[in-house]
Structure 1
Amino acid sequence: MPQTSNSVRTLSPYHWIATYFIGVAGLALALMLVVNLILLSTSQTPWQSLLNSLSFSVAVLMVSLVLITLIAALPCILFFWLAQRFTWRRLWIYLVSGALAAQFAIPVMTQLLPELFNLPHGVSAALHYLQLASMFGGCGVFLGVVFWWRSGRHLR
Protein backbone atom coordinates (compact mmCIF):
# COMPACT_ATOMS: atom_id res chain seq x y z
CA MET A 1 0.00 0.00 0.00
CA PRO A 2 1.66 3.25 -1.07
CA GLN A 3 2.04 5.98 1.51
CA THR A 4 0.97 9.48 0.70
CA SER A 5 3.59 12.04 1.52
CA ASN A 6 2.75 15.17 3.42
CA SER A 7 4.18 17.67 1.02
CA VAL A 8 4.29 21.39 1.68
CA ARG A 9 1.33 23.18 0.22
CA THR A 10 2.77 26.34 -1.22
CA LEU A 11 0.66 29.39 -0.65
CA SER A 12 0.93 32.16 -3.18
CA PRO A 13 2.59 35.44 -2.22
CA TYR A 14 -0.76 37.15 -2.73
CA HIS A 15 -2.26 34.95 -0.04
CA TRP A 16 0.50 35.95 2.41
CA ILE A 17 0.05 39.65 1.55
CA ALA A 18 -3.72 39.40 1.98
CA THR A 19 -3.25 37.65 5.32
CA TYR A 20 -0.85 40.35 6.47
CA PHE A 21 -3.13 43.23 5.54
CA ILE A 22 -6.23 41.53 6.96
CA GLY A 23 -4.39 41.13 10.26
CA VAL A 24 -3.09 44.69 10.26
CA ALA A 25 -6.49 46.14 9.37
CA GLY A 26 -8.21 44.04 12.03
CA LEU A 27 -5.70 45.10 14.68
CA ALA A 28 -5.96 48.78 13.73
CA LEU A 29 -9.75 48.56 13.82
CA ALA A 30 -9.68 46.89 17.24
CA LEU A 31 -7.32 49.57 18.58
CA MET A 32 -9.56 52.28 17.17
CA LEU A 33 -12.62 50.78 18.85
CA VAL A 34 -10.83 50.51 22.19
CA VAL A 35 -9.66 54.14 22.00
CA ASN A 36 -13.18 55.23 21.04
CA LEU A 37 -14.74 53.33 23.94
CA ILE A 38 -12.22 54.81 26.38
CA LEU A 39 -12.93 58.32 25.13
CA LEU A 40 -16.68 57.85 25.36
CA SER A 41 -16.59 56.21 28.78
CA THR A 42 -14.49 59.04 30.29
CA SER A 43 -16.64 61.81 28.82
CA GLN A 44 -19.21 63.67 30.90
CA THR A 45 -21.53 63.94 27.89
CA PRO A 46 -20.81 60.93 25.68
CA TRP A 47 -23.50 61.63 23.09
CA GLN A 48 -22.35 65.19 22.50
CA SER A 49 -18.71 64.17 22.19
CA LEU A 50 -19.51 61.25 19.87
CA LEU A 51 -18.75 63.24 16.71
CA ASN A 52 -15.40 64.46 18.05
CA SER A 53 -14.43 60.97 19.20
CA LEU A 54 -15.39 59.48 15.83
CA SER A 55 -13.19 61.93 13.94
CA PHE A 56 -10.36 61.27 16.39
CA SER A 57 -10.93 57.54 15.98
CA VAL A 58 -10.62 57.77 12.21
CA ALA A 59 -7.28 59.54 12.71
CA VAL A 60 -6.19 56.82 15.16
CA LEU A 61 -7.24 54.18 12.62
CA MET A 62 -5.20 55.73 9.81
CA VAL A 63 -2.10 56.25 11.96
CA SER A 64 -2.42 52.71 13.35
CA LEU A 65 -2.70 51.24 9.87
CA VAL A 66 0.45 52.98 8.70
CA LEU A 67 2.52 52.31 11.84
CA ILE A 68 1.49 48.68 12.24
CA THR A 69 2.06 48.02 8.54
CA LEU A 70 5.57 49.46 8.62
CA ILE A 71 6.72 48.13 11.98
CA ALA A 72 5.34 44.60 11.69
CA ALA A 73 6.41 43.98 8.09
CA LEU A 74 9.91 42.56 8.63
CA PRO A 75 9.04 40.15 11.49
CA CYS A 76 5.97 38.96 9.56
CA ILE A 77 7.94 38.33 6.38
CA LEU A 78 10.48 36.31 8.34
CA PHE A 79 7.77 34.36 10.14
CA PHE A 80 5.83 33.66 6.92
CA TRP A 81 8.97 32.25 5.37
CA LEU A 82 9.78 30.10 8.44
CA ALA A 83 6.20 28.83 8.70
CA GLN A 84 6.19 27.87 5.02
CA ARG A 85 9.64 26.32 5.19
CA PHE A 86 9.00 24.20 8.28
CA THR A 87 5.22 23.72 7.75
CA TRP A 88 4.22 25.09 11.13
CA ARG A 89 0.58 24.32 11.71
CA ARG A 90 0.23 24.46 15.48
CA LEU A 91 -1.64 27.45 16.86
CA TRP A 92 0.65 27.90 19.85
CA ILE A 93 3.63 28.54 17.56
CA TYR A 94 1.79 31.44 15.95
CA LEU A 95 0.68 32.82 19.32
CA VAL A 96 4.15 32.73 20.86
CA SER A 97 5.84 34.02 17.72
CA GLY A 98 3.36 36.89 17.43
CA ALA A 99 3.82 37.88 21.06
CA LEU A 100 7.62 37.74 20.80
CA ALA A 101 7.80 39.59 17.49
CA ALA A 102 5.62 42.38 18.88
CA GLN A 103 8.17 43.06 21.62
CA PHE A 104 10.55 44.50 19.03
CA ALA A 105 7.99 47.22 18.32
CA ILE A 106 8.15 48.64 21.86
CA PRO A 107 11.38 50.66 21.43
CA VAL A 108 10.26 51.84 18.00
CA MET A 109 6.89 53.05 19.23
CA THR A 110 8.31 54.70 22.35
CA GLN A 111 10.67 56.66 20.12
CA LEU A 112 8.03 57.55 17.51
CA LEU A 113 5.28 58.49 19.97
CA PRO A 114 6.97 59.36 23.29
CA GLU A 115 3.97 61.41 24.48
CA LEU A 116 1.74 58.35 24.19
CA PHE A 117 4.10 55.80 25.73
CA ASN A 118 5.96 57.96 28.25
CA LEU A 119 6.69 56.78 31.78
CA PRO A 120 3.87 57.91 34.08
CA HIS A 121 4.85 59.70 37.28
CA GLY A 122 5.24 57.34 40.22
CA VAL A 123 5.38 54.15 38.13
CA SER A 124 8.56 52.11 38.09
CA ALA A 125 10.28 51.56 34.77
CA ALA A 126 10.00 47.77 35.13
CA LEU A 127 6.25 47.92 35.77
CA HIS A 128 5.77 50.31 32.84
CA TYR A 129 7.72 47.98 30.55
CA LEU A 130 5.64 44.99 31.72
CA GLN A 131 2.47 46.94 30.90
CA LEU A 132 3.81 47.80 27.44
CA ALA A 133 5.02 44.23 26.90
CA SER A 134 1.60 42.81 27.74
CA MET A 135 -0.19 45.35 25.52
CA PHE A 136 2.12 44.79 22.54
CA GLY A 137 2.17 41.04 23.21
CA GLY A 138 -1.63 40.99 23.04
CA CYS A 139 -1.48 42.72 19.67
CA GLY A 140 1.08 40.18 18.47
CA VAL A 141 -1.10 37.31 19.66
CA PHE A 142 -4.02 38.80 17.72
CA LEU A 143 -1.92 38.92 14.54
CA GLY A 144 -0.66 35.39 15.24
CA VAL A 145 -4.22 34.08 15.42
CA VAL A 146 -5.09 35.82 12.15
CA PHE A 147 -2.00 34.37 10.42
CA TRP A 148 -2.78 30.89 11.69
CA TRP A 149 -6.46 31.12 10.74
CA ARG A 150 -5.83 32.46 7.22
CA SER A 151 -2.68 30.52 6.32
CA GLY A 152 -0.92 28.44 8.93
CA ARG A 153 -3.56 25.82 9.52
CA HIS A 154 -3.58 25.04 5.78
CA LEU A 155 0.11 24.16 5.53
CA ARG A 156 0.77 20.49 4.83
Structure 2
Amino acid sequence: MLIGGYDLLQLVTSYGQVGRRGGLVYFDRYRAKVVDSSGALIRNEKDIEDFGEGIRKLQARWPLASHPDFYAARELLLEATIGIFGLLKEFMVNVLEMHLENGGKWNKTFIRNCLKDAHAIKTIRKEVEEGEEKLVEMGYGHVALSEENVSKLAEQMSSSTPVE
Protein backbone atom coordinates (compact mmCIF):
# COMPACT_ATOMS: atom_id res chain seq x y z
CA MET A 1 0.00 0.00 0.00
CA LEU A 2 1.39 3.35 -1.02
CA ILE A 3 -0.10 6.46 0.50
CA GLY A 4 1.05 9.85 -0.60
CA GLY A 5 0.94 12.68 -3.06
CA TYR A 6 0.57 12.88 -6.79
CA ASP A 7 4.27 12.10 -7.27
CA LEU A 8 3.36 8.45 -6.63
CA LEU A 9 1.20 8.39 -9.80
CA GLN A 10 4.31 7.83 -11.92
CA LEU A 11 5.26 4.79 -9.86
CA VAL A 12 1.74 3.36 -9.83
CA THR A 13 1.20 3.79 -13.58
CA SER A 14 4.69 2.88 -14.84
CA TYR A 15 4.89 -0.71 -13.72
CA GLY A 16 2.58 -3.41 -15.05
CA GLN A 17 3.16 -5.49 -11.92
CA VAL A 18 1.67 -2.72 -9.78
CA GLY A 19 -1.27 -2.45 -12.20
CA ARG A 20 -1.91 -6.19 -12.05
CA ARG A 21 -1.67 -6.52 -8.30
CA GLY A 22 -3.05 -3.24 -7.08
CA GLY A 23 -5.24 -0.33 -7.82
CA LEU A 24 -5.35 3.38 -7.41
CA VAL A 25 -7.76 4.90 -4.91
CA TYR A 26 -8.01 8.65 -5.21
CA PHE A 27 -9.64 10.71 -2.50
CA ASP A 28 -10.90 13.72 -4.42
CA ARG A 29 -11.23 17.10 -2.80
CA TYR A 30 -14.50 18.88 -2.16
CA ARG A 31 -15.45 21.64 -4.58
CA ALA A 32 -17.60 24.69 -3.86
CA LYS A 33 -18.31 25.14 -7.58
CA VAL A 34 -18.54 22.76 -10.52
CA VAL A 35 -19.17 23.08 -14.22
CA ASP A 36 -22.67 22.00 -15.28
CA SER A 37 -23.66 20.39 -18.59
CA SER A 38 -23.99 23.80 -20.27
CA GLY A 39 -20.45 24.75 -19.23
CA ALA A 40 -21.56 27.25 -16.57
CA LEU A 41 -19.91 27.35 -13.16
CA ILE A 42 -22.52 26.58 -10.50
CA ARG A 43 -22.60 26.19 -6.71
CA ASN A 44 -21.92 22.58 -5.69
CA GLU A 45 -24.51 22.05 -2.96
CA LYS A 46 -23.63 18.38 -2.42
CA ASP A 47 -19.92 18.93 -1.78
CA ILE A 48 -20.61 21.94 0.43
CA GLU A 49 -23.02 19.89 2.54
CA ASP A 50 -20.74 16.82 2.62
CA PHE A 51 -17.83 19.01 3.70
CA GLY A 52 -20.11 20.52 6.34
CA GLU A 53 -21.04 17.06 7.63
CA GLY A 54 -17.35 16.30 8.09
CA ILE A 55 -17.02 19.54 10.02
CA ARG A 56 -19.97 18.58 12.25
CA LYS A 57 -18.29 15.27 13.07
CA LEU A 58 -15.04 16.96 14.02
CA GLN A 59 -16.89 19.65 15.98
CA ALA A 60 -18.74 16.98 17.96
CA ARG A 61 -15.39 15.83 19.36
CA TRP A 62 -14.35 19.33 20.50
CA PRO A 63 -13.10 18.79 24.07
CA LEU A 64 -14.24 22.15 25.43
CA ALA A 65 -17.71 23.12 26.64
CA SER A 66 -18.09 25.55 23.76
CA HIS A 67 -16.60 25.74 20.30
CA PRO A 68 -16.56 28.13 17.39
CA ASP A 69 -19.28 27.39 14.83
CA PHE A 70 -17.09 25.90 12.11
CA TYR A 71 -20.18 24.52 10.38
CA ALA A 72 -21.63 28.00 9.84
CA ALA A 73 -18.41 28.87 7.99
CA ARG A 74 -18.28 25.64 5.95
CA GLU A 75 -18.27 27.33 2.55
CA LEU A 76 -15.49 29.76 3.44
CA LEU A 77 -13.54 26.95 5.10
CA LEU A 78 -13.95 24.87 1.95
CA GLU A 79 -12.41 27.75 -0.01
CA ALA A 80 -9.64 28.36 2.56
CA THR A 81 -8.62 24.68 2.52
CA ILE A 82 -9.07 24.17 -1.24
CA GLY A 83 -11.58 21.47 -0.33
CA ILE A 84 -8.88 19.23 1.14
CA PHE A 85 -10.21 17.67 4.30
CA GLY A 86 -6.72 17.12 5.74
CA LEU A 87 -6.09 20.87 5.58
CA LEU A 88 -9.41 21.48 7.35
CA LYS A 89 -8.49 19.00 10.09
CA GLU A 90 -5.08 20.63 10.52
CA PHE A 91 -6.72 24.08 10.76
CA MET A 92 -9.21 22.87 13.37
CA VAL A 93 -6.51 21.14 15.43
CA ASN A 94 -4.44 24.33 15.40
CA VAL A 95 -7.48 26.39 16.46
CA LEU A 96 -8.14 23.89 19.26
CA GLU A 97 -4.54 24.10 20.43
CA MET A 98 -4.74 27.90 20.64
CA HIS A 99 -8.16 27.68 22.30
CA LEU A 100 -6.75 25.34 24.97
CA GLU A 101 -3.62 27.43 25.47
CA ASN A 102 -5.89 30.43 26.04
CA GLY A 103 -7.64 28.68 28.92
CA GLY A 104 -10.70 27.77 26.86
CA LYS A 105 -11.46 31.39 25.99
CA TRP A 106 -12.26 32.04 22.34
CA ASN A 107 -10.37 34.73 20.44
CA LYS A 108 -11.00 35.66 16.80
CA THR A 109 -7.26 36.03 16.20
CA PHE A 110 -6.96 32.24 16.27
CA ILE A 111 -8.43 32.13 12.76
CA ARG A 112 -5.75 34.25 11.07
CA ASN A 113 -3.01 32.49 13.00
CA CYS A 114 -4.19 29.01 12.00
CA LEU A 115 -4.94 29.48 8.29
CA LYS A 116 -2.27 28.50 5.78
CA ASP A 117 -0.53 31.49 4.25
CA ALA A 118 -1.27 32.54 0.68
CA HIS A 119 2.00 31.15 -0.69
CA ALA A 120 1.43 27.72 0.85
CA ILE A 121 -2.13 27.56 -0.51
CA LYS A 122 -0.94 28.65 -3.96
CA THR A 123 1.72 25.93 -3.96
CA ILE A 124 -0.69 23.25 -2.73
CA ARG A 125 -3.36 24.31 -5.25
CA LYS A 126 -0.84 24.10 -8.12
CA GLU A 127 0.29 20.63 -7.06
CA VAL A 128 -3.30 19.40 -6.68
CA GLU A 129 -4.43 20.80 -10.03
CA GLU A 130 -1.41 19.28 -11.81
CA GLY A 131 -2.12 15.95 -10.09
CA GLU A 132 -5.77 16.08 -11.11
CA GLU A 133 -4.70 16.75 -14.71
CA LYS A 134 -2.42 13.68 -14.59
CA LEU A 135 -5.33 11.58 -13.36
CA VAL A 136 -7.46 12.75 -16.29
CA GLU A 137 -4.60 12.08 -18.75
CA MET A 138 -4.12 8.54 -17.48
CA GLY A 139 -7.86 7.85 -17.70
CA TYR A 140 -8.43 7.30 -14.01
CA GLY A 141 -12.01 6.21 -13.41
CA HIS A 142 -12.50 4.96 -16.97
CA VAL A 143 -12.42 1.30 -17.93
CA ALA A 144 -10.70 -0.12 -20.98
CA LEU A 145 -13.91 -1.52 -22.50
CA SER A 146 -16.29 0.62 -24.52
CA GLU A 147 -19.59 1.59 -22.88
CA GLU A 148 -21.32 -0.78 -25.32
CA ASN A 149 -19.17 -3.70 -24.19
CA VAL A 150 -19.58 -2.81 -20.51
CA SER A 151 -23.36 -2.92 -21.04
CA LYS A 152 -23.06 -6.26 -22.87
CA LEU A 153 -20.94 -7.68 -20.08
CA ALA A 154 -23.43 -6.52 -17.45
CA GLU A 155 -26.33 -7.99 -19.46
CA GLN A 156 -24.60 -11.34 -19.98
CA MET A 157 -23.75 -11.60 -16.31
CA SER A 158 -27.11 -10.46 -14.96
CA SER A 159 -28.75 -13.85 -14.99
CA SER A 160 -27.80 -15.72 -11.85
CA THR A 161 -26.67 -19.29 -12.05
CA PRO A 162 -26.87 -21.57 -9.04
CA VAL A 163 -23.54 -22.67 -7.61
CA GLU A 164 -23.00 -26.40 -7.84
Question: TM-score, structure 1 length as denominator?
Answer: 0.31
The structure whose residues are more often helix, as a share, is 1
Higher relative contact order (CA 8 A, sep 6+): 1
Q: TM-score by structure 2 length? A: 0.30
